[in-house]
Amino acid sequence: GKPCFYQKHLGKGAPEAIGHVDIVEDGETVAYPVIEDLAGLIGLVQMNVIELHPSGAGVKKLDTPDRITFDLDPDEGLAWPRVTEAAIEIREALLAIGLQSFAKTTGGKGLHVVVPLLPKLGWDEAKSFTKWVADSFVAQFPEKFTANQAKRARRGRIYIDYLRNSRGATAIGAYSPRARPGATVSTPLFWEEVEKGVRPEGFTVVTVPQRLAGLEADPWAEIGKLRQSISAAVRRQVRA
């Protein structure tokens, strides 16, 4: 097929069903797409959009994220159990400081650990927190993890990408297809599935609708209901 490209700004000629929010960038006001309903989503399909990469903040509070993401990106050839083990370790570390998290495949070779938050902290504080978590894992297990995005630093390790958590940054959305061979989908998982080592390549545009039709519960049913924040004590540790 033809090469794909990423586009953040809505641009001219977009279907009317696609909403927008105006954001000032470098002194210029630009329109970002906002999807509020099925009609808006179909509008993106009409524009031949394949992947959806949302922000971690809602349109009403652009400067205070309500989700942060730890993107676990393994080195080529690293065994999948290493990735699931890492996700579980991060889940447990977050639980120890009072934060529940949710898992999903990236549609590639990694996993996302997603933490919903009350939109109280700014982007700088959110990013500092995720860097603090990533750095703590690198300090404890330098042979297993890196927080350095350079390819050479990833050899035999899992890159904990915390850079998704800054203003203007995005992460692949839940249930978004990927423009990859196999038409994989970034799929929310039950933590029990992560613990069992369910592999990511089985989640595709064909199998995910079948999965959803057969599920008795939503793996992320509670993500929009949780009212949690990074505690003041933890924020002091981050600043120390």
What residue ranges do the domains of the chain occupy?
1-49, 53-239
Q: What is the CATH number of domain 53-239?
A: 3.90.920.10
pLDDT of res. 135: 97
Asked if pLDDT for residue 25 goes beyond 90, the answer is no
Q: Is the pLDDT of residue 39 over 70?
A: yes
Contacts of 177 (CB under 8 A, 6+ apart): 50, 51, 107, 183, 184, 185, 205
- Angle, helices 123-140 vs 232-239, to 10°: value is 70
pLDDT at 236 (0 to 100) = 95
Burial of 162 (0-12, 13-18, 19+ CB in 10 A): buried
Task: Using the predicted structure, report yes or no on whether residue 1 has a pLDDT greater than 90.
Answer: no
Q: What is the pTM of this model?
A: 0.94
Q: Cβ(88)–Cβ(97) under 8 Å?
A: no
C-alpha span between 34 and 154 (Å, rounded): 35
Give the tens place of pLDDT for each residue, 186-201. 999 999 999 999 999 9
* Mode of pairing for the β-strands spanning 111-116 and 67-74: antiparallel
Spatial separation of the C-alpha atoms in residues 82 and 144, rounded to whole Å: 9
Contact (CB, 8 A) for 77 and 203: no
